[in-house]
Structure 1
Amino acid sequence: MKIVELHTLEPAALEQLSELLVRVVEGGASIGFLPPLEVEEADAYWKQVVGPEVKLWIAVHSDQIIGTVQLHLAGKKNASHRAEVAKLMVHPDSRRSGVARLLMKTLEETAQKEGRSLLVLDTREGDPSNDLYKSLGYIEAGRIPEFAQSAGGALDATVFYYKRI
């Protein structure tokens, strides 16, 4: 497996990222979308992601994208020390194999090189991602009830985390 930073989206990468997004949303991931997610909506999302303040990595195994994560660099003058971790996704068939850890390690190393000393993120309360982030040294900052709607219509709490790097 290798981790690759994408600066532009080639058609093959766009197709695979859209398929990954659709698959994880179908699996119940709380990443800003609700099922059923159409490929066209996923394509539109990915086409607007890469930019000067967003870094995007993919995990590739046997020429297939099996995971991705984003680093959103805060652009405000009083926020140049921080960044947000966003859209960590791993294909259901590749979970619990170290993909997410490797993506996060790469993200954190790059954040440091970019002069960022504080990372923030949020995730749905009760999701397995909470255990991952805690094991990586992220500290819970708080919870907001009824923050995001799930596929079934329930309103779920989200947990905010931070990490000084």
Structure 2
Amino acid sequence: MNVVCKIASLFAQCAVSARTKRNFKNMDISQLKNGKYFSGRYTDPGQYSGWFVGSFFNDENHPCKNDQLEILYKEHQSGDKARAHYHKLKVELLIILEGKARYNVNGNEVVLGKGDFLFVDVNNIISGEFLEPTKIFVIHSPSIVTDKTVVE
């Protein structure tokens, strides 16, 4: 099971627990406190062009350094384009928070608007164009910085 599915499963378990009002007061959480967490503002693209979680951080102790997934938040202008590319080892999940974009996956056009998502498995060629100002949230799993092949 890939990390995206694990995260979705964990959220589902939490939702079920919340609905059933399961009591966690007696749970031993001492093993859960690894001290690795970080609070920030994801609208600041910083030096990583909007990627704010992933294996690309040089500092091994950076709280957002993670080999399991990469997370991006980005604001695009109308006319911005995402070059055609594919990943051999990681999956990609794109979520449109606001705006509208047209993607091409292996020659098939997919238009996404607010609240829509696109899941792209490995070895699929994807490109995109933003049709209006758009806020997008992207998750890659696992985090492998070198796993992107641009298609000319």
Fold conserved (TM > 0.5)?
A: no
Q: TM-score when scaled to structure 1?
A: 0.24
Question: Which is bigger in relative contact order (C-alpha 8 A, separation at least 6)?
Answer: 2
| TM-score, structure 2 as length reference | 0.26
Question: In proportion to residue count, which structure has more helix?
Answer: 1
